[in-house]
Amino acid sequence: MKKIILSISILVLGLVLVSCTKSDEFVVDVFIYEYSDTYIGGVRSELEKQLKGIDNLKYQFHDAASSQETQNTQIDAAITKGSNLLVVNVVETESANVVIEKAKDAKLPVLFFNREITDAAVNSYKGQTAFIGTDPDEAGYMQGSLAFDILTKDYAKSDRNSDGKIGYVMLRADLDNPEANGRTRYSIEEANRLLTEAGKPALDKLAEDQMAAWDTAKAKTLFEAVISDSAVLDKIDIVFANNDDMALGVIQALKEKGYNGTDKTKYIPVLGVDATATAVDAINRGEMAGSIKQDGVAMATAVREFIQNIQNGQKFNEGLSYEFETGVDKVRIPYAKFTKE
């Protein structure tokens, strides 16, 4: 009988210890809009590397595969399983309010990153919601400035068919995405402003914006259709893309036409955003003109530091160097121009 009582006591003690261990564990669920996205894949890899080894931290990544419905289901499941913090790279930016309501109902903090959500959404759950990202317009302004730098190194040479105009094509992403909208609009506006100040004509739009959804294959297919008309191809002097994946699709299409390869006399500058490793290689080979670096390591670091603050019972940016914008808990990671030089 004593042996049975002793065994039961040990079993109960073991269960208590397991229970204590589990209750001390801080559970973080990270929701990614699309694993195959090159830039966000880099952020995810860096974040996972930084989260490894943090005491009492358990984390899990979830791939929504570009489906907001899938992401909502994943968030519901994580809450049910006992998540302590939701870290969300939202699929559809206008769905941030739905995610926040789920977090509110579960009394959980929620950290959004990369894909811009509105100030109103962040402030609807004040103190328990924050956003880490970039200025959605800044990359556009920088890309326009970079285009001006490239075109005016030798303006006569940049005007490939000597028609007195710089013809361009734009590869853009979702209409409801603030980053896509900022990059599309302000890249052209800034390039035109600088060209006008330099006494040069504004850029000449040769085709409707090509809706390539951040995707290399879609960009290649769409651009192939644009340049199937040799008269249009002859007029293209520069190509803008909202991200590097789309820029690389453009380059693939150009190379099949004999451009941007070994024949340096047949070259059209292509600009992207992110400065991913693949794009950097293309830039260094001289196939791509440049990109606007979106610092994935810096973004992952900020996300990890905010996670640790919440784990330690602090506010998102408490004791850190990150300053929130006036009136809303948002942090901006700066961009930088990237070229071979």
What is d(CA 167, CA 290) in angstroms, rounded to the nearest whole number? 18
Same fold, 24-133+296-335 and 138-294: yes
What is d(CA 241, CA 248) in angstroms, rounded to the nearest whole number? 9
pLDDT at 136: 87
pTM of the model: 0.81
Q: Can you identify the CATH homologous superfamily of domain 24-133+296-335? A: Response regulator (3.40.50.2300)
pLDDT at 325: 97
Give Cα 200 distance to the centre of its chain: 33
Give residue-wise pLDDT tens across range 119-176.
999 999 999 999 999 998 999 999 999 999 999 999 999 999 999 999 999 999 989 8
Q: Are 46 and 296 in contact (CB under 8 A)?
A: yes
Give residue-wise pLDDT tens across range 5-57.
444 444 344 433 333 334 589 999 999 999 999 999 999 999 999 999 899 99
Q: Can you identify the CATH homologous superfamily of domain 138-294? A: Response regulator (3.40.50.2300)
Token pair for 13: 């003690």
Give residue-wise pLDDT tens across range 181-219.
999 999 999 999 999 999 999 999 999 999 999 999 999
Give residue-wise pLDDT tens across range 85-120.
999 999 999 999 999 999 999 999 999 999 999 999
pLDDT at 5: 43
Token pair for 104: 């509110």
Average pLDDT over residues 253-266: 94
Question: What percent of the chain is modeled with pLDDT above 90?
Answer: 90
pLDDT at 230: 95
305-336 b/e (C-beta count within 10 Å ≥ 16 → b): bbbbbbbeeebbbeeeebebeeebbbbbbebe
Main-chain phi, psi angles of 171, to 5 degrees: -105, 115
Q: Output the average pLDDT for the chain.
A: 93
Q: Which of 106, 127, 93, 86 has the alpha carbon at shortest distance from 307?
A: 86
Residue 80 pLDDT more than 90?
Answer: yes
User: Hey, where are the domains in the chain?
Assistant: 24-133+296-335, 138-294
Give Cα 117 distance to the centre of its chain: 13
Of residues 11 and 323, more confidence is placed in: 323
